[in-house]
Amino acid sequence: MLLLMLFALVAGAGTAITPCVLPVLPALLSASGVGGRRRPLGIVLGLAVTFTVAIVALAQLVHGVGLGKGTARNLAIVVLICFGVVLLVPGLAARVQAPLSRLARFGPRRRGSGFWSGLVVGGALGFVCAPCAGPILAAVISVSASMMGPSAQVVVIAFAYSIGLAAMMLLYGFGGRAVLAWLRRFARGAVVERGLGCVLIATGVLMAFNLDVRFEDALARDTSLPAILVDPTRALENSNVVRKRLASLRPESRYVLAAKRAKVMLPDLGRAPGFVDTQDWFNTPGDRPLTLASMRGHVVLVDFWTYTCINCIRTLPFVEGLYRHYHRYGLDVVGVETPEFTFEQIASNVRQAIHADGITYPVVQDNRYGTWDAYQNEYWPAEYLIDAHGDVRHTQFGEGNYGEDERDVRALLTAAGAKHLPAPMTAHAILPSREIGTPETYLNPERSAGFVSPLQRGVHSYSAPHTLALDAWALGGLWRVGSESITPAGGRYAFVEGAVQARDVYLVMTSTGNLPRRGRVLLGGAPIPARYRGSDVGAGGWFTVRAQRLYNLVKLPADARFVVKVELPPGVSAYDFTFG
């Protein structure tokens, strides 16, 4: 617990030096630059407290008292604009801020702009501060948003994160005061105060139009920015030590717990959440959003997937078959595309995958894991079957149990009043090999396993041994190792090889600028024979990488043990090996 608190403290401080906090910095510096010397302390304390409340308790509080989702944010924006107006009008400042100075002996009484007024402004900033969430902050938000609410451990971790963030903000506040004190030597009257008031008002207006959120989203999606700038604590937060401790904070899904307690078929597992914090929609009229409420009276299958996940891809024919077979009888299907890799957040990539996979049912992007967290989901693929009243009645995590899934769909359709259902459908999922021995292999330093030379961030030269044990992997040549993938460096081809037991081999790859670049796959040290080529491989074992997707490199008639070697050119990034 103490170690996770320390990690959270460091992560919060690291977040404060990223561009993600830029939207609140003008307000922070403006508010810190006026009033007594204790005002910055009040600001950061207020920010730390309300930021903690916002991420661990606000969702439960808002739900309990029936307030709208953005009520606290809207109130915070009003506070920022009001304090800006106060700075612009000195006479108004004397009337409005004087009562605040009487709350304590902190700060100058004549304008009430010391500790307590700073506490109010900081409290407002805490409700609009929305830094890019790494694993620690995301885990805190996820657990807090669950029906069970935050535990004491989660509150402590959240407060440690807030203290780290606020400590850096305090340095910004004192630094801003020093700069403004220097400026006042050259300014007359209340020019500086009025200028700061304008900054506060402008910040509030920009936030009212959600421009701060759009800015943060753009930063999160921009893969061209250096990782040390956007996410300096990524390596720490993605370490095995942190992941194991974060896992202990997450309660088991309420649907799983309800299913364990149930002793009847199709038990009521609880109310289904809506589609929360989503982005683009596909396959709907005008690509407009859908709501669960609009589908009340229908049976709904919510399918969590991501388009490079081979386990998800194998289930798609079955899910699509259900939709085509039973949609006219009252079955709706919604695919929730929750990305595993950054490039899976790009709407055009998702649209292309939907077309390539022949998906005709509605799909929504869940880039910020809002809906994923609302369901307390942990798996790709995962299915939640919802009855006509909006309650979850059946769950399926991973592949399999297709006959049971269809049986339950038919039962709920009948209960909803469907008449004359057709015979069970003939569509089937793609079945994986029964003898897959090699586990999924990620090509990044935080999640990689089985490499004879551990992957290290940065550019390094690697040498492969002459032989590899089963499930062992090696790199050869000069590679640039990033947070999610590996890319050949130095202008020459490099290779990755592994000794595997499988029938099919898949590799997630991207090409810089989506330009076509050629790689080659070898089997046992020789170009792969035509009869063993995957669907993306041509003569001589050559394949072309362009789209950001999963590529099928090897397709054997049966399971076997073999050494697969993939040669890649500069500009092509490899993310993840999976097997079938």
Distances (CA, A) of 350 to 217, 344, 483, 486, 536: 17, 7, 22, 22, 19
d(CA 406, CA 152): 41
Q: What is the pTM of this model?
A: 0.67
Instruction: pLDDT band for 164, please (50, 70, 90 cuts).
Output: confident
- The whole-number pLDDT of residue 516 equals 97
**3-class DSSP state for residue 342?**
helix
Instruction: pLDDT band for 87, please (50, 70, 90 cuts).
Output: low
Q: Is 362 exposed, middle or buried (0-12, 13-18, 19+ CB in 10 A)?
A: buried
- Mean pLDDT of the region 506-535: 95
In this predicted model, which residue has the larger pLDDT, 230 or 564?
564
User: Has residue 102 got a pLDDT over 50?
Assistant: no
The first and second tokens of residue 52, run together, are: 């903690």
User: Has residue 40 got a pLDDT over 70?
Assistant: yes
Instruction: pLDDT band for 100, please (50, 70, 90 cuts).
Output: very low
For 261-306, the DSSP string reads H--SSS----BPP---S---EESSGGG----TGGGTTSEEEEEEE-
User: Has residue 106 got a pLDDT over 90?
Assistant: no
- Mean pLDDT of the region 204-215: 73
d(CA 413, CA 230): 48
Instruction: pLDDT band for 65, please (50, 70, 90 cuts).
Output: very low
User: Has residue 496 got a pLDDT over 90?
Assistant: yes
The first and second tokens of residue 160, run together, are: 């440690």
**3-class DSSP state for residue 196?**
helix
- The label of the residue with tokens 């990033």 reads 482
Contact present, 207 and 11 (Cβ < 8 Å): no
- Mean pLDDT of the region 490-519: 95
d(CA 49, CA 8): 15
d(CA 536, CA 40): 59
- The whole-number pLDDT of residue 38 equals 76
In this predicted model, which residue has the larger pLDDT, 339 or 233?
339
The fold of 441-579 is: Jelly Rolls (2.60.120)
- Start-end of H helices in 89-187: 90-101, 115-128, 135-145, 152-184
- The whole-number pLDDT of residue 188 equals 62
**3-class DSSP state for residue 557?**
strand
pLDDT above 90 coverage of the chain, percent: 45
- The whole-number pLDDT of residue 202 equals 82
User: Has residue 478 got a pLDDT over 90?
Assistant: yes
Distances (CA, A) of 335 to 122, 290, 350: 40, 12, 11
In this predicted model, which residue has the larger pLDDT, 340 or 148?
340
d(CA 544, CA 528): 15
Q: Count other Cβ atoms within 10 Å, centred on residue 39.
A: 26
> In degrees to the nearest 10, what's the CA dihedral of 131, 137, 143, 146?
10
Greatest Cα-to-Cα distance within the chain, rounded to the nearest angstrom: 86
pLDDT above 70 coverage of the chain, percent: 75
Instruction: pLDDT band for 217, please (50, 70, 90 cuts).
Output: low
- The whole-number pLDDT of residue 156 equals 80
Instruction: pLDDT band for 108, please (50, 70, 90 cuts).
Output: very low
| Residue 38, CA atoms < 13 Å, CB-side half-sphere | 14
User: Has residue 221 got a pLDDT over 70?
Assistant: no
Instruction: pLDDT band for 445, please (50, 70, 90 cuts).
Output: confident
User: Most confidently modeled of 3-12, 24-33, 416-425?
Assistant: 416-425
- The whole-number pLDDT of residue 47 equals 80
User: Most confidently modeled of 9-18, 73-82, 358-367?
Assistant: 358-367
Contact present, 405 and 266 (Cβ < 8 Å): no
Running DSSP on this structure, what letter comes out for residue 251?
P
- The whole-number pLDDT of residue 136 equals 61
Q: Are strands 473-481 and 494-511 parallel, antiparallel or unpaired?
A: antiparallel
d(CA 26, CA 206): 11
H-run or E-run covering 566 = strand 549-568
H-run or E-run covering 460 = strand 458-462
- The label of the residue with tokens 């657990």 reads 143
- Mean pLDDT of the region 207-222: 64
- The whole-number pLDDT of residue 58 equals 52
- Mean pLDDT of the region 524-549: 95
The fold of 254-415 is: Glutaredoxin (3.40.30)
- Mean pLDDT of the region 187-198: 69
- The whole-number pLDDT of residue 345 equals 92
| Residue 173, CA atoms < 13 Å, CB-side half-sphere | 28
Contact present, 327 and 291 (Cβ < 8 Å): no
Sign of CA dihedral 156, 160, 165, 169: positive
| Residue 500, CA atoms < 13 Å, CB-side half-sphere | 27
User: Most confidently modeled of 32-41, 259-268, 408-417, 420-429?
Assistant: 408-417
- The whole-number pLDDT of residue 109 equals 40
What is the distance of C-alpha 285 from the center of its chain?
A: 27
Q: Which amino acid is at 75?
A: L
Q: Are strands 572-579 and 542-545 parallel, antiparallel or unpaired?
A: unpaired
Segment 246-299, tens digit of pLDDT = 666 666 777 877 777 777 788 999 999 999 989 999 999 999 999 999 999 999
Q: Considering the chain, what is the average pLDDT of its residues?
A: 81
Nearest C-alpha neighbor of 16 from the set 161, 141, 174: 161
User: Has residue 101 got a pLDDT over 70?
Assistant: no
- Mean pLDDT of the region 441-449: 87
Would the CATH topology of 254-415 be identical to that of 441-579?
Answer: no
Spans of all domains in the chain = 2-230, 254-415, 441-579
Region for residue 438 given its phi and psi (left: phi exceeds 0; alpha: psi -120 to 50; beta: otherwise): beta
